[in-house]
Amino acid sequence: MPGESLRAFIHALPKVELHVHLVGSAGIDTVLALARRHPEAGVPTDRAELEQFFTFRDFDHFLKVYWAVQSMLKDRHDIRTLVTGLAAELARQNVRYAEVTVTPYNHLLDGMPGDELLAGLTDGRANAAVEHGVELAWCFDIPGEKGAVAGRETVVFALRERPEGLVSFGLGGPEVGVGRAQFEPFFTTAREAGLRSVPHAGETTGPATIWSAVHDLGAERIGHGTSCTADPALMAYLAEHRIPLEVCPTSNVRTRQVSSIAAHPIRRMLDHGLLVTLNTDDPPMFGATLEGEYLAVATTLGLDPAELAQLAENAVNASFLYTASKTALLAEIESITHNGLTELTRNSAPDE
């Protein structure tokens, strides 16, 4: 498929994003607005300087930028700005639905009142639907490096407040030295209350972390999970039980978990029948877009348009959308795919 035709096909696909962190979604315009609102944070308020500050250099630099953004989130207006900026970017890429990871414990620890966080999320979600046609849902996750106290506070906050759109319960942060099993009581409580289990596992550690996420935390989806390819039995289990993987190729390259897109195990995962979805993680901070992820795996790993459409379908099926919404999106993907392949065949036909 010619380059422009491929880009048009990817754009036309109605897409779903399942792994994007709210703080990590802040683009230049959003950060600029926050920096000018909170100059005391020391984040550049000049666009050119901010763009230089925002240019990813290494993982330590990513953390510096991430925490700089975190430090500027003071109230509902800042959260709403963040949510609205994300929705605008998703709409630009024809992303119709996203499950966005929010880490309440970090905001509360920084001194933001819980009702301010919730009001910002609620206002931003409503604005996303009305102004951008994007439906947002929330995953409240535990910052694993902060231990059991963070797990306890996160589940208490989630179930006490239960904002509209909250669908899942997650676990993020570093994996090394942060065992999944210690969070089992909090995931059990969340699952019994109806939240779905979506912990990170197997990004920076091996298959044992993914096994633990499945067995100890009842994972219904796995954040990243790329190390599963080191364990054939695990791949077989994930395929048999149809446990989706939220794969973020550019993020994995930027954090040096893989050396390049060409070296990414996503093709192997697909070949083993795994339910793979494409996602961006912390998109502006890693220089990623969801359309860019589709384009990268197509051009570098040789995925054809039908396989790209299958990835889009996987994301819909792996989401926690209502059945009617899933059915409508799947029908649209099928129509776009049929028309796109027909157009490709027409463009490729020899002149008579």
| The pLDDT of residue 340 | 67
DSSP 145: G
pLDDT of residue 2: 59
* Residue 60 pLDDT: 81
Task: Answer whether 312's CB lies under 8 Å from 332's CB.
Answer: no
Residues 6+ apart with CB under 8 A from 106: 23, 70, 143
Q: Identify the burial level of 58 via C-beta atoms within 10 angstroms of its C-beta, where 0-12 means exposed, 13-18 middle and 19 or more buried.
A: exposed
Q: Is residue 329 included in any domain, yes or no?
A: no
Q: Which two tokens stand for residue 161?
A: 């407040």
- Which of 141, 134, 180, 144 is CA-nearest to residue 158? 141
Which DSSP helix (H) or strand (E) runs through 178? none
Return the amino acid letter for 125.
R
* Number of domains the chain is built from: 1
Residue 350: per-residue pLDDT: 45
Which residue out of 89, 99, 135, 203 is catalytically annotated? 203
Residue 313 lies in a domain: yes
User: Rounded distance, CA 340 to CA 12, Å?
Assistant: 9
Determine whether 17 is an active site residue.
no
| pLDDT score at 62 | 84
> How far is Cα 92 from Cα 128, in angstroms, rounded to an integer?
12
> Looking at the domain assignment, is residue 272 inside a domain?
yes
Domain with 50 in it: what CATH number? 3.20.20.140
In a domain, 259, yes or no: yes
Domain that holds residue 114: 16-321
pTM: 0.94
The reply to whether 343 falls in a domain is: no
Give the integer Cα–Cα distance in Å for 115 and 122: 10
Q: Which long-range contacts (CB under 8 A, 24 or more apart) does 333-336 make?
A: 333/13, 333/14, 333/309, 334/309, 336/9, 336/12, 336/13, 336/14, 336/309
What tens-digit pLDDT sequence spans the chain (352 residues)?
558 999 999 999 999 999 999 999 999 999 999 999 999 988 999 999 999 988 877 778 888 888 999 999 999 999 999 999 999 999 999 999 999 999 999 999 999 999 999 999 999 999 999 999 999 999 999 999 999 999 999 999 999 999 999 999 999 999 999 999 999 999 999 999 999 999 999 999 999 999 999 999 999 999 999 999 999 999 999 999 999 999 999 999 998 899 999 999 999 999 999 999 999 999 998 989 999 999 999 999 999 999 999 999 999 999 999 999 999 999 999 999 988 665 554 554 444 3
Residue 338 resides in a domain: no
In a domain, 38, yes or no: yes
Within 8 A by CB and 6+ apart from 229, the residues are 235, 265, 268, 269, 272
Predicted confidence at residue 351, as pLDDT, reads 47
Distance CA 180, CA 202 (A): 11
Residue 111 lies in a domain: yes
